[in-house]
């Protein structure tokens, strides 16, 4: 009897793993079939107004890139503070708050940026979108930096200080160097996460049918346009949405996998 | 230089604090008009964007005129009454009707989709976690683990589109009812939080010391018994924390739900009726909203922020801290 119960339990567990993988397979297959059937290289050459995706892909990259430029330095220095400088309560409160912010609803971040950036500046803009994404990114970078720095052995820091290096020299030249790979992986994963975000961009950057590099007006966003296109009745719009989703997912998965690959090589 | 670097890093760290307080204050002040107008009744009121006539003497008059039997006269009466109404409107102040907003429908929608998602994802996620932590050989566990984590990396908007065009029709065929409904939205949300939940549950299970498991096996316990009597009691607190964390994620999810919930401000009678959730109400109505309507959306955002803040804090500080 015990053995039967054991068998049933193991079977159920394996079955649920199969269900999980089946969903992954189902979603990816759908994406590949629908995405590839409407995929064409001219999508990279035309803007949305001419039935292509060029402006959207470039726009999304710029938004996520700009968010990284804002978010990575802030997140890393904050992580360094928590791990290297902060003593006692304040640092641990910041760590806890950053953990909470990491799971905060992204749409609420969007509403916040709408209130503090979009309303005062008089309209949606690329800047607002990038700021919203940066706010999403900061806690993830803090978390990675914090936990990667904590893995660096104490002796390394002590050796540096014994040689007469000042603390920031030790941090920049020794501690960060030692934790470089881990931090880079974390940043790549954070980048993969924000580049697929839609909700924080809906009312901050919105989207645009035209190619634009002007960050002070509504800015083309791949994800927001996918949402718009997918809800349109015409078959052609929806096909375009599938092609865009396919490109987005491939991009996210490549970034994600390369992040994992870097860590694996290190080990 | 040293001083500058230290101050700089302190400033960045404090930014987190400032941002969180800033979000709270901003949401609160933007929601203030709606909070003043509706108070806590907002949470129990199910009418959204509804025009209501304020009590005024003319409503009594029109009730009196119903008793007239001839249609023609009735019409004429109405016409006259209408003119009277207009006159009254002009005489008194303009605000005889006002628009009211209540948050009950999106609040209920948010909670119900989350519950459905949890009910669907929980058993499967536990199964996957057990499989990854205890059953699968090391190399299979690694590969499946990465696959599950990739599922977690897929942008939520993809889940929404797939859910709407491929998953929902099948569910609707099986269960009946609409393709866009509480049920399909909850299930797709469940598929979405599944990998996240499985991954962190596996991590909790992996904290069980090998010595404990080995001693149980040495006593002749089956795998099921080891999992039930050793691993689960040991990592229980961590697992509960992981589940609550996944719940926090589900509460605030926008895009996967936006495609499937139907986006109408009506309380669902059945599980396969369409309704709306807080994030979706914001996503779909923010653009057109202004004045009190916008403020009411901020009120909803504030409620969502407080709920998820509380849920995540409980998970992080009570369960996951204890698990460490």
User: Same structural domain for residues A120 and A230?
Assistant: yes
Q: Which of B20, B148, B153, B251 to mutate to test the interface with A (most CBs of A within 10 A)?
A: B153
Range of the domain at A222: 43-266
User: Same structural domain for residues A120 and A167?
Assistant: yes
The answer to whether residues A238 and A229 touch, using CB atoms and an 8 Å cutoff, is yes
Q: Which residues in chain A touch residue B258, judged by CB atoms under 8 angstroms apart?
A: 227
Write out residues 98-157 of A within 8 Å (CB-CB) of B. 98-101, 103-112, 114-116, 135, 138-139, 142
Mean pLDDT along residues B212-236: 90
Model confidence pLDDT, tens digit, residues A28-65? 999 999 999 988 888 999 899 888 999 999 999 999 99
> Does the pLDDT at position A255 exceed 70?
yes
* Superfamily for the B104-323 domain: MetI-like (1.10.3720.10)
**Closest by Cβ to B305, choosing from A84, A105, A249:** A105
Residues in contact with B239: Cβ distance below 8 Å, sequence separation at least 6, in sequence order: B126, B201, B204, B205, B232
CA distance B90 to B240: 61
Which of B271, B269, B250 has the alpha carbon at shortest distance from B174? B271
CA dihedral over B161, B167, B172, B175, signed as positive or negative? negative
Q: What is the mean pLDDT of chain B?
A: 84
Q: Work out the minimum CA distance from B151 to partner chain A, whole angstroms.
A: 6
Model confidence pLDDT, tens digit, residues A224-243? 999 999 988 899 999 999 99
CA distance B294 to B287: 9
Q: Work out the minimum CA distance from B69 to partner chain A, whole angstroms.
A: 49
pLDDT of residue B94: 54
The answer to whether residues B307 and B292 touch, using CB atoms and an 8 Å cutoff, is no
pLDDT of residue B322: 65
Q: Which residues in chain B touch residue A63, judged by CB atoms under 8 angstroms apart?
A: none
User: Same structural domain for residues A112 and A154?
Assistant: yes
Minimum mean pLDDT among A105-114, A153-162, B85-94, B184-193: which range?
B85-94
User: Same structural domain for residues A21 and A48?
Assistant: no
Alpha-carbon Rg of chain B, whole angstroms?
27
Residue with tokens 């009691």: B233
pLDDT of residue B184: 94
User: Same structural domain for residues A15 and A135?
Assistant: no
How many domains does chain A contain in total?
Answer: 2
Return the number of other C-beta atoms located less than 10 Å from residue B68's C-beta: 14
End-to-end CA distance of chain B: 37
**Closest by Cβ to B279, choosing from A30, A96, A105:** A105
pLDDT of residue B1: 78
Burial category of A46 from C-beta neighbours within 10 Å (exposed 0-12, middle 13-18, buried 19 and up): middle
User: Same structural domain for residues A23 and A66?
Assistant: no
Alpha-carbon Rg of chain A, whole angstroms?
22
Model confidence pLDDT, tens digit, residues B290-306? 888 999 999 999 999 99
> Does the pLDDT at position B90 exceed 70?
no
Rounded to two decimals, what is the model's pTM? 0.88
CB contact under 8 A, A168 and B1: yes
User: Same structural domain for residues A91 and A181?
Assistant: yes
Query: What SS3 class is residue B97?
Result: strand
The bridge status of strand B97-100 relative to strand B50-53 is antiparallel
What's the CATH number where A106 sits? 1.10.3720.10
Which of B22, B102, B112 has the alpha carbon at shortest distance from B300? B102
User: Same structural domain for residues A139 and A80?
Assistant: yes
pLDDT of residue B304: 96
Model confidence pLDDT, tens digit, residues A118-141? 999 988 999 999 999 999 999 999
CB contact under 8 A, B124 and A16: yes
CA distance A195 to A7: 43
Strand partners of residue B262: B275
Model confidence pLDDT, tens digit, residues A137-193? 999 999 999 999 999 998 998 899 899 888 888 988 889 999 999 999 999 999 999
Q: Between A and B, how many CB-CB pairs are < 8 A?
A: 247
Q: Which two tokens stand for residue A242?
A: 């599938």
**A85: contact with B, CB 8 A cutoff:** yes
Model confidence pLDDT, tens digit, residues B45-55? 888 888 888 76
**Closest by Cβ to B224, choosing from A6, A96, A231:** A6
pLDDT tier for residue B65 given thresholds of 50, 70 and 90: very low
């Amino acid at each position: 009897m015990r053995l039967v119960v054991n068998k049933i339990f193991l079977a159920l567990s394996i079955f649920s793993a199969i269900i999980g993988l089946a969903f992954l397979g189902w979603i990816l297959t759908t994406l590949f079939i629908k995405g590839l059937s409407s995929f064409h290289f001219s999508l990279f050459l035309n803007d949305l107004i001419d039935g292509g995706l060029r402006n959207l892909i470039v726009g999304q990259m710029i938004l996520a890139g700009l968010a990284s430029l804002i978010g990575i330095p802030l997140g890393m220095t904050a992580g360094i503070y928590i791990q290297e400088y902060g003593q006692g309560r304040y640092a641990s409160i910041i760590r806890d708050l950053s953990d909470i912010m990491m799971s905060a609803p992204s749409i609420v971040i969007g509403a916040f940026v709408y209130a503090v950036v979009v309303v005062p500046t008089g309209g949606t803009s690329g800047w607002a979108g990038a700021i919203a994404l940066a706010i999403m990114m900061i806690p993830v970078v803090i978390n990675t930096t914090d936990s990667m720095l904590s893995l660096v052995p104490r002796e390394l820091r002590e050796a540096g200080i014994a040689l007469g290096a000042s603390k920031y020299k030790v941090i920049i030249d020794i501690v960060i160097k030692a934790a470089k790979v881990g931090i880079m992986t974390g940043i790549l994963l954070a980048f993969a996460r924000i580049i697929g975000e839609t909700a924080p961009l809906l009312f901050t950057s919105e989207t645009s049918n035209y190619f634009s590099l002007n960050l002070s007006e509504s800015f083309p966003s791949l994800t927001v346009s996918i949402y718009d296109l997918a809800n349109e009745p015409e078959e052609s719009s929806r096909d375009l949405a599938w092609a865009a989703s396919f490109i987005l997912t491939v991009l996210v998965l490549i970034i994600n996998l390369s992040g994992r690959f870097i860590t694996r090589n290190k080990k | 230089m040293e001083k500058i670097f230290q101050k700089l890093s302190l400033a960045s760290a404090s930014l987190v604090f400032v941002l969180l307080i800033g979000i709270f204050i901003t949401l609160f002040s933007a929601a203030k008009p709606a909070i003043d107008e509706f108070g806590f009744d907002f949470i129990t009121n199910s009418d959204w964007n509804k025009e209501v006539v304020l009590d005024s003497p003319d409503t009594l008059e029109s009730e009196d005129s119903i008793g007239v039997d001839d249609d023609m006269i009735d019409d004429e009466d109405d016409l006259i009454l209408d003119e009277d109404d207009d006159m009254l409107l002009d005489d008194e102040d303009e605000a005889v009707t006002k628009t009211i907003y209540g948050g009950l429908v999106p609040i209920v929608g948010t909670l119900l989709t989350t519950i459905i998602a949890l009910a669907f994802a929980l058993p499967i996620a536990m199964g996957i976690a057990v499989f990854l932590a205890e059953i699968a050989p090391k190399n299979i566990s690694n590969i499946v683990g990465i696959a599950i984590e990739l599922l977690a990396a897929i942008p939520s908007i993809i889940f929404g589109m797939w859910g709407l065009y491929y998953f929902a029709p099948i569910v609707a065929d099986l269960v009946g009812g609409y393709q866009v409904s509480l049920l399909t939205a909850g299930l797709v949300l469940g598929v979405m939080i599944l990998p996240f939940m499985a991954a962190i549950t596996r991590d909790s299970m992996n904290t069980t010391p090998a010595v404990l498991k080995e001693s149980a096996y040495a006593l002749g316990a089956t795998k099921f018994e080891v999992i039930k009597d050793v691993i689960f009691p040991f990592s229980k607190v961590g697992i509960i924390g992981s589940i609550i964390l996944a719940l926090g994620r589900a509460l605030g999810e926008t895009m996967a739900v936006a495609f499937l919930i139907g986006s109408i401000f009506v309380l669902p009678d059945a599980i396969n009726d369409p309704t709306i959730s807080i994030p979706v109400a914001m996503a779909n109505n923010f653009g057109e909203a202004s004045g009190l309507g916008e403020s009411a959306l901020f009120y909803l955002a504030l409620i969502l922020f407080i709920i998820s803040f509380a849920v995540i804090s409980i998970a992080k500080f009570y369960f996951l801290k204890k698990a460490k």
